[in-house]
């Protein structure tokens, strides 16, 4: 099987180059050959040399900042404009693939039905305190051996030594399972210290931004809406449009579809900006989907 697949990576601002490199190495270790596009929006091209070393396509643009916030959609749409394969996987720069047959498994399913797309693969995470050791493992052992050597003390985390990891497991307002460190959970539920900061406190067990699709389907809905800023909801908005026009389903909750999030500090999170993004998303959701798609298609033309 040899499906033409491109994996896109959007990066901007203070992203971590090490995590992106590990994600690319993970994608390149897949049993299917893939093209990789890194789209960067920043004050200078910080990943260009490394992209050349890794043999991946690299696109750079100066930042488009509004009220101190980058556009998470512009950098993603710019990557989409350079995709020339039939299939695309929309990824983030801190996500690895636990199974070398991940792309073959999911795109075999996508290929069977013309209008079928998948989002939200099941996700484990490498804890922040384990990242440096895991990063060193990759440099010395290679990505496949480093992934193999991780310990999984529970269904949610990967660590670099054998120890007990206690988490609070609960569900969010959308009915999805999330986890939290015990101390953070107490601070979030018993005090007002973390009020409005759920994304900082609770960790998803699905990768909300992961989408496997035919490229044309993403383009048919105008890609990502350009009105979102900072972090959050631009992926949900795209998924809403896709679900209205095609058959969008969650990844099967199976080991072969699991991805791995590399935990990182979340100092960039702004509750105020997230609130504005949330309001925009739900406003657009009440509108005629064809109207918002027409507008997004018109604005997407600048990337062609």
Measured between alpha carbons, how far is 181 from 172 in angstroms, rounded to an integer? 15
For the record, the structure tokens of 291 come out as: 């109207």
Q: What does the DSSP assignment read for 211-252?
A: EEEEHHHHHHTTSS-TT--SSSSHHHHHHHHHHHHSEEEEPP
The H or E element spanning position 234 is helix 234-245
**Is residue 17 within 8 Å of 54, Cβ to Cβ?**
no
DSSP state of 196: T
- The whole-chain average pLDDT of the chain stands at 92
Return the CATH number at 233: 3.90.550.10
* pLDDT tens figures, 25-48: 999 999 999 999 999 999 999 999
Measured between alpha carbons, how far is 178 from 187 in angstroms, rounded to an integer? 16
Is 162 domain-assigned? Answer: no
Measured between alpha carbons, how far is 246 from 280 in angstroms, rounded to an integer? 22
Confidence of residue 197 (pLDDT cuts 50, 70, 90): low
What is the domain extent for residue 232? 5-122+206-303
Quote the pTM value: 0.94
Is 164 domain-assigned? Answer: no
Is 141 domain-assigned? Answer: no
Please choose, from the candidates 194, 196, 195, the residue with its C-alpha nearest in 3D space to the C-alpha of residue 183. 194
* pLDDT tens figures, 213-272: 999 999 999 999 999 998 889 999 999 999 999 999 999 999 999 999 999 887 666 788
- Residue 271: per-residue pLDDT: 80
Q: Cβ of 143: how many Cβ atoms within 10 Å?
A: 22
Is 218 domain-assigned? Answer: yes
Measured between alpha carbons, how far is 220 from 297 in angstroms, rounded to an integer? 8
* Beta bridge mates, 92: none
Is 134 domain-assigned? Answer: no
Burial of 45 (0-12, 13-18, 19+ CB in 10 A): middle
Alpha carbon 144 to its chain's center: 21
- Residue 13: per-residue pLDDT: 83
- Residue 231: per-residue pLDDT: 80
Please choose, from the candidates 100, 127, 94, 86, the residue with its C-alpha nearest in 3D space to the C-alpha of residue 24. 94
Measured between alpha carbons, how far is 237 from 225 in angstroms, rounded to an integer? 7
Is 175 domain-assigned? Answer: no
Question: How many structural domains are present in the chain?
Answer: 1
- Residue 267: per-residue pLDDT: 61
Is 124 a residue whose pLDDT tops 90? yes
Q: What does the DSSP assignment read for 64-99?
A: --BTTB--HHHHHHHHHTT--SSEEEE--TTEEESS
What 3-state class would DSSP assign to 160? coil
**Is residue 188 within 8 Å of 194, Cβ to Cβ?**
yes
Confidence of residue 76 (pLDDT cuts 50, 70, 90): very high
């Amino acid at each position: 099987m040899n499906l033409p697949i491109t994996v896109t990576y959007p990066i901007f601002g203070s992203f971590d180059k090490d995590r992106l490199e590990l994600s690319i190495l993970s994608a390149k270790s897949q049993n299917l050959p893939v093209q990789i596009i890194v789209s960067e929006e920043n004050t200078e091209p910080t990943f260009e040399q490394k992209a050349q070393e890794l043999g991946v396509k690299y696109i750079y643009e100066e930042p488009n900042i509004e009220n101190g916030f980058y556009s998470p959609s512009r950098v993603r749409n710019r990557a989409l404009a350079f995709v020339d394969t039939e299939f695309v996987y929309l990824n983030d720069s801190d996500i690895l693939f636990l199974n070398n047959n991940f792309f073959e498994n999911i795109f075999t399913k996508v290929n069977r039905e013309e209008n079928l797309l998948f989002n939200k693969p099941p996700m484990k995470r490498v804890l922040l305190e384990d990242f440096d050791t895991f990063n060193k493992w990759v440099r010395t052992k290679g990505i496949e051996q480093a992934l193999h050597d991780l310990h999984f003390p529970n269904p949610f985390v990967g660590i670099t030594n054998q120890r007990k990891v206690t988490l609070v497991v609960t569900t969010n307002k959308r009915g999805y399972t999330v986890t939290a460190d015990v101390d953070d959970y107490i601070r979030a539920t018993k005090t007002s210290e973390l009020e409005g900061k759920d994304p900082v406190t609770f960790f998803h067990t699905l990768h909300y931004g992961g989408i496997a699709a035919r490229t044309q389907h993403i383009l048919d809905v105008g890609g990502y809406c350009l009105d979102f800023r900072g972090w959050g909801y631009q992926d949900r908005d795209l998924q809403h449009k896709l679900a209205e026009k095609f058959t969008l389903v969650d990844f099967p909750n199976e080991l072969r579809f699991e991805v791995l999030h590399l935990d990182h500090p979340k100092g960039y999170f702004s509750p105020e900006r997230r609130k504005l993004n949330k309001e925009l998303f739900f406003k657009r959701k009440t509108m005629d989907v064809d109207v918002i798609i027409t507008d997004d298609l018109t604005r997407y033309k600048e990337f062609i």
